[in-house]
Structures are given as C-alpha cells and as structure tokens.
Amino acid sequence: MWPTICLLLLAALVALAFFVIHKPQSFRRELDAQSEKLLALQRSFEQQSAERQAQQQALFNSMVEGVLLLDRNGQIQLVNHSLEEMFGVTADVRGQTILEAFRLPELAQLARQLPDKRLVRGYELELGSVEDRWVQINAAAVSDRDGAHHGAILVFHDLTRLKQLENTRQEFVANVSHELRTPLSLIKGFVETLLDGAKDDRELSTRFLQTIEKHTDRLTYLIEDLLTISHLESGRIVMNLKTVDLHKETSRVRDDLQSRAKEKDVKVENQVPPGMMVRADGERFQQVLFNLVENAIKYGKQAGHVIVGARAAPPKKIEVWVQDDGPGIPPESKDRVFERFYRVDRARSRETGGTGLGLAIVKHIVQAHGGEVGLKSELGKGITFSFTLMQDDSADS
Ligand code: ADP
C-alpha cells in the first residue's frame, strides 16, 4: 500500500514542479512579448510626435510672418525664424515669459489679456529694442472644446517698410505742396496788385507780368520734373539702350547750355576722349549730363571753368565726371544732395529757378542704367560729380 501511495505523491510532486517551473515561463514570455509590443507602440508614438513637431516647426519657419506660441502658463513654447529676425533674438527663449525674452511690457500685457479677450486683431507695436521697426500683431487664445485655456498663438507682420513708404509719401506730398504754394502765392500777389491799379502803369505792369511769367515757368519745370521722377520711380520705365558717343553728346549738351554759360562768363570744356562709347538711353543720358553741367554753371563761380571728362573704369564700365571750380558743398550735405527737394542753399536754388529735383533725377536715371553716382567736394574748392555707365561692347571690336 505504502509504496503505491508514495508513488502517487511523487507523481503529484513532479506534476506540481512541472506546473511551477513550466507555466510561469510561458507566462513570462507572454508578458515579455506584451511589454515589447507596448514599447514598440510607445517608440512609434514618440517618433510620430517628433515628426509632427518637426513638420510644425518647418511650417512655421517657412512663414514670412513671425509666430510665437505660448503655453497655458504664458511661457514660450515655440518661436519661428522670422520672429527671431524681427526681434533680433539669438538665444533659445523657450520656457521664458514674453517679458523675460523680449523685454516688451506692452506685448506682455497683450498676451496676458488673451485668455479673456480670446482674439486681438491689427495691434500695432513699435519695437523699442530694434530701431524704427513696426509690427502688426494678430493673436488668439488656444482652448479646447470645453473652453479650458491651453495657451496662445501670436502672429507678427513686419510693418516697417510700409510705415517708411507712408512717411516718404507724406513727406513728398508736403514738399510738393510747399513747392507749388510758393510760386502760386507770388503769382496771386502780383495779379492782385495789377488788378488794384498797377496795370495802369505800363512800366510797372510789364515788370510784374515778367515776374509772373518767371514763376509760371518755375511751376512748369517743377511739374515736368515731378512727372519725370514719378515715371522713373514707378519702375516701369523702359530704357532704350543703344550705342552713345560720349564726346558727341557732351558737345551737344555744351551747345544747348552755351547761352547760360555766356551769361556767367563760364567756360565749359569737353575733355571726353573722342570715340568713347557707352550703352545708354540717349535722351536720358543727355538729361543726366544736362542737369550736371547746368548745375555746375548755375552754382559755380562767375567766369568759372567747367570740365566734362570720362575714363574707362575696368572691367566693363566708363566713368563720366563734371567738375566745377565753384563754392562746392559742405561735407554734411554730400550724402543728401541726391535726395528729392534737398538744397544746400535754398534761396540760391529758388533764385536760379531750381526745382530741387535735378540730382534726384540724375541718380534715378544712372541707377536705371545699372550705374552709380558719386561726388567729391571740398568747401570753396568746387565739386566733381561722377557717374558710371556700361561701356559699349561693340566699341571694343
Ligand atoms: P536744384 O534744382 O535746386 O538745382 P538739384 O537737385 O539739381 O536741385 O541740386 C540740389 C542742390 O545741390 C542744389 O540746390 C544745390 O544747393 C546743390 N548743388 C548741386 N550742384 C551743385 C554744384 N555744382 N555746386 C554747388 N552746389 C550744388
């Protein structure tokens, strides 16, 4: 009996041992397989979210507008390249508040209001840190369907260029109005005096009418110059490029201004080497040379000497210059004489019928030819204006 019982017990023990040893091993394998699957799933989620983040970052970085994402605590989550450029940000500002990152209380205030306001449109801000920069901000709070606040997105448009254009336009309109008003009020004054009885005095009325004529001429020149400038600035101007003989054109301009030069006893000398050719629009080139030689006569000294010269400026350009021995201009005016309506001596320019646009026209025409303008002057020792033009290739052969 006992041996049978012992045998049975032994069999049960073996069965138990088999269960204890074998079953957990398969159980563990199953567990391992499950956790392996979970890990793979987690890795794929992480990869997908990293890809999504990279895509989001690439999308934001491709935008011209600056983008700023804030989390629910008002800390910066993301800034794109355009925003970094706008604000001159070089360090990593993620995790910082707007005030810490940009030191702009006005912007920080705007972001603080977003959870309540939800949306801000067309808010204009001048960036104090970066000079003369303007941005327009559109901002929105980010929340889920239940209305819980999750952060905010702010989009910045750079308004600097628009503001500059607006200022230039306003300045231009103010200048033009001023330029038109002066001769018009003089004309009106003389007409009124004539109507008040001066017309009965033949000599006086002739003098007044001559003055009126002078001012109407001035208005005509001004309007012609304004039309030229607006045409040139429109960028739609087509240059009719052809081979221009520099020496010949200079002689033509000198002849056209002969009577003006004679009035002041000024000698205009053409030192341009014969046979020098440039690629230019003939009429526009004449206008450039005419304005420069006319100025040299006008502002140069009585019985002065004006020289027009040219030299090759390798590899492919020719430099033309107009030199006078007049009073020159002070150093602080050198960078400004090419601006519209800038005059060194206002009274002198008006008295000689100047519009203040001659050099601005010169600069535009030369630049439209792909050339550059320059000047050298020493007060009391005259001035030399120069410009470059493309050498005519056919002239080489
Ligand atoms: P304006 O019609 O008044 O002559 P410009 O644009 O031609 O206008 O010239 C701008 C200003 O530059 C002039 O008002 C004058 O003060 C100065 N300027 C130009 N050319 C000369 C020169 N050759 N010598 C001295 N000053 C000059």
Q: Indicate the helix (H) or strand (E) that contains 359.
A: helix 358-368
* CA 338 – ligand 1 centroid, Å: 9
> Does this model's pTM top 0.85?
no
Q: In sequence order, what DSSP letters do the residues of 124-141 get, joined into one string?
A: EEEESSSTTEEEEEEEEE
Sign of the C-alpha dihedral, residues 44, 48, 53, 58? positive
CA distance 208 to 232: 36
Backbone angles phi, psi at 281, to 5 degrees: -80, 115
Contact, 135 vs 156, CB < 8 A? yes
CA distance 154 to 70: 8
Mutate to test the pocket of ligand 1, among 299, 336, 355 (most ligand atoms within 8 A of CB): 299
- CA trace torsion 31, 37, 40, 45 (10° rounding): -110
Residue 54, number of CB atoms within 10 A of its CB? 10
* CA 295 – ligand 1 centroid, Å: 6
- Nearest Cα neighbor of 280 from 320, 240, 314 is 240
* CA 216 – ligand 1 centroid, Å: 21
User: Which residue is associated with the tokens 């308004």?
Assistant: 159
- Please, which residues have CB within 8 angstroms of residue 271's CB and are 6 or more apart in sequence? 307, 308, 309, 310
For ligand 1, atom 10, the nearest C-alpha belongs to 343
User: Can you read off the two tokens belonging to residue 291?
Assistant: 């304005």
Angle, alpha carbons 320-324-329 (nearest 5°) = 105
User: Can you read off the two tokens belonging to residue 334?
Assistant: 């050198």
CA distance 310 to 249: 12
CA distance 352 to 217: 12
360 CA closest ligand 1 atom index = 6
357 CA closest ligand 1 atom index = 6
- Nearest Cα neighbor of 288 from 219, 392, 367 is 367
Sign of the C-alpha dihedral, residues 236, 240, 241, 247? negative
Residues touching ligand 1 (Cβ under 6 Å) are 291, 295-296, 299-300, 324, 326, 329, 337, 342-345, 349, 354-360, 383
CA distance 60 to 64: 9
Q: How many CA atoms lie within 13 A of 176 on its CB side?
A: 15
324 CA closest ligand 1 atom index = 23
- Please, which residues have CB within 8 angstroms of residue 245's CB and are 6 or more apart in sequence? 275, 276, 277
CA distance 127 to 356: 34
- Nearest Cα neighbor of 74 from 95, 93, 103 is 95
User: Can you read off the two tokens belonging to residue 294?
Assistant: 């006319």
For ligand 1, atom 4, the nearest C-alpha belongs to 354
CA distance 87 to 237: 37
pLDDT (tens digit, 0 to 9) for every residue of the chain, 397 residues total?
A: 556 665 666 666 666 555 555 556 776 788 788 878 878 888 888 888 888 888 888 889 999 999 999 999 999 999 999 999 988 889 999 999 999 999 899 999 999 999 889 999 999 998 865 567 899 999 999 988 888 889 999 999 999 999 989 998 899 999 999 989 989 999 999 999 999 988 888 899 999 999 999 999 999 999 999 999 998 888 778 889 999 999 999 999 999 999 999 999 999 999 999 999 999 999 999 999 999 999 999 999 999 999 999 999 999 999 999 999 999 999 999 989 999 999 988 777 777 778 899 999 999 999 999 999 999 998 888 999 999 999 997 754 4
- Nearest Cα neighbor of 154 from 78, 226, 242 is 78
